Every structure is written in C-alpha cells, then in structure tokens.
C-alpha cells in the first residue's frame, strides 16, 4: 500500500526532506544484545554454584552426623552382643570346670600314672565330653600346668608350642584366659575361639593341678555381628579389630552366600584400624584394608583384646546426596540456560521489531517521496471510489489541483465512453484483487489521453482501499502506430515486389517461349534446308550441320525448361493442380524419384498470388529434394476443408538437424526463408519439421476465404 504524506513521529528530517534516524535507536547501536543476558546468566550460575556448594556442604555434614549416629549405635549394639555371647559360653564352661568332681577325677587319673586307658582315663574323658556339651563348644583338652603339655583330649587337642605357652600362662590365673580366633582344624571354613581354665585342688593351698582348653565355634558370633544393620547399604561391614591394630577380622553382612569372614591387617597412617586402636574418639575417616575411603566407629569388647568397628564406604554414604546434587545442578543450569536463551531471544525479537519499525518508517518516507515525484499518476481511493490521496503527477496530468481531486470520484476522471468499461471491470477486480487494463482518461479541460491502469485492492486495518497507478501511453501508442504502419508498408511493398516479380517472370517466360524458341526453331529448319543443299560427298559439312542441329535442340529444350521455371504456362492455363503435377513429372523424369501427387478438386481457381505462393513453395521443395534430401519418394498433398486450404510436401530423405535448420534458413540456404516469406506475405502459415528417421515435412495452410479470387 502506498501511503502518502505520512507523518513520522519517531524520526526527524533535514531541510531536503531526507529521513534522519537517531543513532541510539538504530538497530546497529546494540548488536551485542546477547552480552547482557549471558553475563547475567554466568553471574547467576556462579551465585547458584556458591549457594549450592554451601547447601551441599551443609547436607554433607548432616549426612555425616547421621552416619556417625548409626555407626555408633550399631557398634555399641554389636559390642554388647559379642560380650554377652562370650560371657554365655564362658559361664557354661566355668560351671563344669570348677566342680570338685573334676579335680578328684584328675587326682585319680594322676594316681594311676596318667595312663591313657583304664577307668580313671575314661572318667576324665567323660568329664571333658560333658564340658563340650556346653553351647557352641567343639573340642576340650587337658594340659599340664607346669609345661602346658597335652595330657588327654575329647575331640581335637592341640599340643603346639603356642597352646602350651597359653596353657602355662593360664595355669596361674584365677580368671579364664581368652584364646585368639583361629581356623578350625577339622573345618577350614569355620572360625573358632578358645578358653584356657586353670583347675585347682579342692584343699589348701589350692594349687593348680591342670589346665582345661575349651574350643568354641565362633560362627554364631559373626552371624550376630552381621545382622541388624538399619538400612540397605551393601558396603557396611562389622570388623573385629585386635587392640594392637595388627590383625583384623571383617564380617561382611549376610547375603545370598551367607556370612563371609576375611582376615587382614591395617595398613598406612590413615587406616581406620590404626585410628581406632590409638583411641581416636568419634567418627573415624580413613581407608580400610581395601584402600577404600570409609566412615567408621570403633568400641572395645569388654574382657577381650578386640574392638568392634562398624564402617561404611564414603561413596555409598554420599551416593544419594551426590545424585540429588548432580540432578539439582543440572536442573538449575538447564532452567537458567533456558531463561537466558528466552531472554536473549526476547531482546533479539524486540530489537528486530524496532529495526523493522525504523525500516518501515524510512521506507514509508521514501515511498512518499517516490510516489509524490513519480512519473506515473498514483491515486488512492476508498472502496466506494472516493479519492483520498493523489501525487503531484496525477494533479498535473489531469489538470486539477490536489485538494480538488480529493473531493472527486474515480469515475469523474473517465470520459463517458469509458465509464461503462470501468463498471464492468469492478467485479473482476473484486475477484482477482489486481487488474491491468487500458482506458481513456479525461482531463479537466475535457481532453482525453490513453492510459495503462494498474489497479489493486489493499486491505489494511480492517479497511479496503483501491490503488490505481495510471501511466500516460500516448507516446507509446503513437510509436506503436508508426511501427505498425511501417511494417504494413514493408509487407505491402514486399507483396508488390513479389507480384511484380511474378509478372516479370511471366513476361520473360512468354517472350522466351514466343520469340526465342520460335527463332531457334526457324534456325533449326534453315539448318535442315542447308543440309539438303549440300552435296552428298561433303561429309565434313554434313557432320558439322548434324552437330549444330543437336546443340540447337538441346538449347531449345533448356530454354523451355527455363520458361517452365520462370512461369510455367500450365499454371496460367490449367491451374495449380496441373502445374504441381507437371513439376512432379519433370522431377520423376530427371531423377527417377517416386513422386505421389494427390490434389482435391476445387470448383474455382485460387487467387493469382495464392497460386503463385503454393506453386513456388512446391517448386522449391522439389528442388531441395533433388539436390539435398537423397530421398526415394516424395508425397505432395493439396487438400481443402471447410476453413483451410492445406499443402503438405513430405519426403523420406535424410532430413536435417533441427538446430542447424534455422541456421540454413537464416543464411538463405535451401530457399527456406523465401518459402516462409512467400507464405506470410500471402497470409498463410508455414511449418517445417525434419529428422533423420522420418525425412522432411513442409506444411502450408491458408484460410479458405483468403485463398479464392479471380483467375489471373
């Protein structure tokens, strides 16, 4: 839509009317629109990272406190359970060991010389068997208090140096001595623990008379240590740690394969085992025998050289917290990034809108300038045809003042003869939206001028407007008229030239036939007379006359052929069909080519120029067949219908290449240009097609009304 006299409030203009945009409002003033959003995004991301780190550290400390409480609670529980288990076994064994009957049985056995067989030995073995009947006990043996030597046993009895030394140490003690954990001799997968009890005499001074060694199955102890962990942590372990930190027995929680026991040593200064035996209070942080960072809590088992230590891998303790932190950080970063991109897009969108607004303002002012000083008339009206705006050129061309035209209707600018055309074009304009047509326009003084009108409908702000661009085509009309008159004169001159040429051909052909051929025939008769007058003995004269007579006959024949080419007399006497048949017969006689001629019957002769046109085209086509086509047969068809006269000439020769055909025609070769011009001058249409597979076909057709006229 062309909007004239537009007021631009967001810009200013200089004295020449050029639009000036303020530098601050130009879109190039803030090309780095993404800097602020991404800068704030980085700041927010850094602040979020700091806050997130603080929250993570706080949550981590809370989690460590929670783990500490759980590890401490479990360690206390397991230490108490281990103590009570050991106390239960110890009490059961002590009841049997301190009975006076056992001491008496030992005396009786010793009095018999400590024989391995006999009633005293059997009695003593029975007492050992009753001791093994206590809970969890597996083996019982009797050792000498002086040197710890094995005397007698029920089950497996160890007589190793370590056992002897432990028996000797326990002989002088009033309390039972706990043996270290060891692997069962009968079952390599079963851990065991032993007690050494000193047996004293029944009478003062109550001296030690023997040492009883009782071995108990500690599998139940490890099972007790393994169960009862409040949670699903798979890395949790309960460890029995020796007080010197050089030996540890780890109990892995019960799983599908049952309790698993591993024996190892604490390694390195950060090992939680060393920290435990050194008495480090509270939660322990370090590595275990696997060199894996763990949290641990250790408590001593009363009455034993062992600590109960509970531990949990730090990676599992922080697993959920790290997953939540990672998910939160990812979600926060994603939300911030989406917000940053949305803000950046919004800023870009606003800047683009501002740039488009300024471009529209500049474009509107330029369009206003171009429309006002355009060389065409520009008229803007409402849907009813009431003129709203015009440019200076329109006011000048129609002879009205600008304000005067704004009070007029579009139909007032048309002469009476063009108003009906305008009313007829309105429905078409309504359906198509735009229309280009030519119509006369009326000036204020009553004069008219031809114009080309480009009309279009414009919808804006819910209203419909009609914009018309009117161009004065008086000069173009004059130039077109002059060009058409010039072409008409050229065509008329060409027609006259061909007509004169045909008349001249007819005259020359008649003179050659009537005078030249007749004179040559007379000369031939005179030669015959001379030949008769010569003596019979004159052989030389007779030979010369015979040769001259032969040359004269050939000359007469050539002159007749020339007359036929210039203007065959049969065309004037018998018409087009006979002339075409005569030319075809001559071609057949000269070349031996098969020529098929089919001509419809006509009730009257064609006009002279039409007959000449059809004959000359046929003559030129047959000449091309003989010289270039290398054809075996030619078909000539002259037919008529209700509306057309059609001439078709087709051969089965080698044809021509279509792209080279026009070059031959433009260069005047093959007479194609002459044939086309003859057809156009006569008002006929000319067409030629050619290919190596189908030969060449020439078609000429003329309206029947133009074909017939008086015979020449």
The DSSP line for 587-640 is HHHHH--EEEEEE---SSPBPHHHHHHHHHHHHHHHHHIIIII--SEEEEEEEE
Model pTM above 0.85:
no
- 550 belongs to a structural domain: yes
Same domain, 83 and 200: yes
Residues 320, 27: Cα–Cα separation, whole Å: 50
The alpha-helical segments, DSSP class H, found in 512-566 are 517-533, 539-566
- Say what the pLDDT of residue 28 is: 43
- Say what the pLDDT of residue 514 is: 66
Residues 332, 338: Cα–Cα separation, whole Å: 10
User: Residue 381 forms beta bridges with which residues?
Assistant: 387, 466
Same domain, 530 and 678: no
- 382 belongs to a structural domain: yes
- Please state, in angstroms and as integers, the Cα–Cα distance from residue 471 to each residue in 7, 370, 419, following that order: 27, 15, 18
Whether the CB-CB separation of 140 and 128 falls below 8 Å is answered with: yes
Same domain, 447 and 559: no
Same domain, 485 and 468: no
Identify the CATH number of the domain in which residue 463 sits: 3.30.450.20
- 12 belongs to a structural domain: no
Same domain, 487 and 462: no
- 410 belongs to a structural domain: yes
Whether the CB-CB separation of 300 and 306 falls below 8 Å is answered with: yes
- Who's near 442: CB < 8 A, 6+ residues apart? 398, 413, 414, 415, 418, 448
- Say what the pLDDT of residue 648 is: 92
Measured from the Cβ of residue 103, the count of other Cβ atoms closer than 10 Å reads: 19
Same domain, 462 and 593: no
- 20 belongs to a structural domain: no
481: phi then psi, degrees, rounded to nearest 5: -65, -45
- Say what the pLDDT of residue 92 is: 72
The helix (run of H) or strand (run of E) holding residue 208 is: strand 208-217
Going by C-alpha positions, the residue among 352, 353, 356, 354 that lies closest to residue 364 is 356
Residues 288, 315: Cα–Cα separation, whole Å: 13
685: phi then psi, degrees, rounded to nearest 5: -110, 140
220: phi then psi, degrees, rounded to nearest 5: -65, -35
- Say what the pLDDT of residue 30 is: 53
Q: Which token pair is 6?
A: 């537009």
- The DSSP code for 398 is H
- Final residue in a domain of this structure, among 472, 488, 512: 472
Whether the CB-CB separation of 150 and 143 falls below 8 Å is answered with: yes
CB-based contacts of 162-171 (< 8 A; 24+ apart in sequence): 163/213, 166/196, 166/213, 167/143, 167/196, 167/211, 167/213, 168/211, 169/196, 170/196, 170/197, 170/198, 170/211, 171/145, 171/146, 171/198, 171/208, 171/211
Q: Which token pair is 110?
A: 């010793």
Same domain, 621 and 501: no
- Final residue in a domain of this structure, among 446, 472, 498: 472
The number of distinct structural domains making up the chain is 4
Same domain, 488 and 589: no
- Final residue in a domain of this structure, among 472, 499, 519: 472
- Please state, in angstroms and as integers, the Cα–Cα distance from residue 463 to each residue in 104, 202, 434, 460, 544, following that order: 130, 130, 16, 5, 106
Task: Report the side by side order of strands in the sheet with 695-703.
Answer: 594-599, 633-640, 644-651, 695-703, 685-691
Burial string for 220-239 (b: 16+ CB within 10 Å, else e) reads ebbebbbeebeeebebbbbb
User: Residue 299 forms beta bridges with which residues?
Assistant: 308
- 366 belongs to a structural domain: no
DSSP string across 98-128: T-HHHHHHHHHHHHTTS-SSSHHHHHHHHHH
- Who's near 292: CB < 8 A, 6+ residues apart? 313, 315
Residues 530, 519: Cα–Cα separation, whole Å: 16
User: Residue 636 forms beta bridges with which residues?
Assistant: 597, 649
Q: Which token pair is 458?
A: 């414009």
- 363 belongs to a structural domain: no
Residues of the domain holding 387: 374-472
Same domain, 297 and 379: no
419: phi then psi, degrees, rounded to nearest 5: -70, -35
- 177 belongs to a structural domain: yes
Q: What 3-state class would DSSP assign to 206?
A: coil
Same domain, 227 and 282: yes
pLDDT along the chain (712 residues), means of 10: 38 42 43 73 85 86 86 85 81 69 80 73 80 76 86 82 85 77 68 81 80 82 69 73 57 39 48 75 82 85 80 84 87 86 84 82 72 81 87 89 89 89 86 89 90 88 85 86 81 71 71 71 78 72 78 77 69 79 83 88 80 84 84 89 88 75 52 79 85 86 76 42
Same domain, 92 and 188: yes
Same domain, 618 and 523: no
């Amino acid at each position: 839509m062309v909007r004239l006299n537009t007021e631009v409030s967001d810009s200013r203009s200089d004295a020449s009317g050029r639009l000036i945009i303020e530098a601050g409002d130009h879109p190039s003033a803030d090309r780095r629109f993404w800097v602020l959003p991404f800068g704030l995004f980085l700041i927010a991301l850094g602040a979020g990272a700091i806050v997130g780190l603080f929250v993570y550290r706080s949550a981590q400390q809370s989690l460590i406190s929670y783990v500490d409480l759980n590890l401490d609670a479990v360690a206390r529980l397991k230490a108490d359970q281990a103590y009570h288990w050991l106390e239960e076994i110890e009490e059961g064994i002590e009841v049997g060991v301190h009975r006076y009957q056992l001491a008496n049985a030992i005396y009786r056995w010793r009095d018999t010389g400590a024989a391995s067989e006999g009633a005293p030995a059997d009695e003593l073995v029975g007492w050992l068997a009753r001791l093994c009947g206590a809970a969890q006990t597996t083996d019982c043996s009797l050792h000498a208090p002086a040197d710890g030597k094995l005397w007698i046993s029920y089950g497996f009895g160890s007589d190793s140096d370590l056992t002897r030394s432990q028996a000797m140490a326990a002989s002088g003690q009033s309390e039972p001595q706990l043996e270290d954990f060891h692997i069962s001799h009968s079952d390599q997968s079963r851990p065991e623990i032993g007690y050494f009890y000193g047996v004293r005499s029944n009478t003062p001074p109550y001296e030690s008379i023997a040492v009883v060694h009782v071995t108990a199955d500690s599998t139940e102890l490890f099972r007790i240590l393994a169960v009862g962990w409040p949670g699903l942590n798979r890395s949790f372990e309960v460890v029995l740690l020796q007080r010197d930190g050089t030996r540890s027995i780890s109990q892995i929680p019960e799983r599908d394969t049952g309790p698993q026991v591993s024996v190892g040593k604490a390694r390195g200064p950060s090992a939680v085992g060393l920290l435990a035996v050194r008495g480090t209070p509270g939660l322990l942080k370090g590595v275990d025998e696997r060199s894996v960072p763990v949290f641990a809590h250790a408590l001593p088992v009363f009455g034993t050289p062992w600590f109960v230590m509970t531990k949990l891998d730090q990676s599992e303790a922080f697993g959920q917290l790290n997953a939540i932190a990672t998910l939160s950080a990812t979600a926060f970063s994603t939300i911030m990034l989406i917000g940053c991109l949305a803000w950046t897009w919004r800023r870009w969108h606003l800047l683009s809108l501002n740039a488009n607004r300024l471009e529209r303002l500049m474009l509107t002012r330029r369009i206003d300038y171009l429309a006002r000083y355009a060389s065409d008339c520009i008229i803007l009206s409402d849907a009813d045809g009431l003129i709203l705006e015009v440019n200076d050129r329109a006011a000048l061309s129609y002879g009205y003042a600008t304000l005067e035209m704004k009070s007029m209707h579009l139909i007032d600018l048309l002469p009476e003869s063009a108003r009906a055309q305008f009313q007829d074009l309105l429905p078409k304009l309504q359906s198509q939206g735009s229309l280009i047509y030519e119509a006369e326009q009326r000036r204020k003084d009553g004069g008219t001028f031809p114009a080309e009108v480009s009309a279009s409908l414009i919808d804006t702000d819910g209203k419909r407007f009609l914009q018309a661009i009117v161009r004065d085509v008086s000069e173009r009309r004059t130039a077109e008229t002059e060009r058409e008159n010039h072409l008409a004169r050229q065509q008329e001159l060409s027609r006259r030239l061909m007509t004169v040429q045909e008349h001249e051909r007819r005259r020359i052909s008649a003179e050659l036939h009537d005078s030249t051929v007749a004179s040559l025939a007379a000369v031939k008769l005179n030669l015959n007379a001379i030949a008769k007058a010569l003596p019979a003995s004159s052989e030389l004269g007779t030979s010369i006359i015979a040769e001259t007579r032969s040359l004269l006959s050939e000359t007469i024949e050539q002159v007749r052929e020339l007359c036929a080419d210039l203007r065959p007399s049969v065309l004037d006497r018998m018409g087009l069909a006979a002339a075409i048949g005569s030319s075809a017969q001559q071609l057949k006689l000269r070349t031996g080519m098969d020529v098929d001629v089919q001509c419809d019957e006509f009730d009257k002769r064609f006009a002279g120029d039409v007959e000449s046109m059809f004959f000359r085209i046929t003559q030129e086509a047959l000449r091309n067949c003989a010289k270039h086509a290398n054809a075996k047969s030619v078909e000539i068809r002259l037919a008529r219908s209700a509306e057309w006269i059609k001439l078709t000439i087709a051969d089965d020769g080698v044809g021509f290449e279509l792209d080279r055909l026009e070059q031959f025609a433009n260069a005047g070769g093959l007479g194609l240009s002459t044939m086309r011009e003859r057809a156009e001058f006569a008002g006929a249409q000319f067409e030629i097609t050619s290919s190596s597979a189908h030969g060449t076909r020439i078609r000429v057709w003329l309206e029947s009304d133009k074909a017939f006229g008086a015979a020449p």
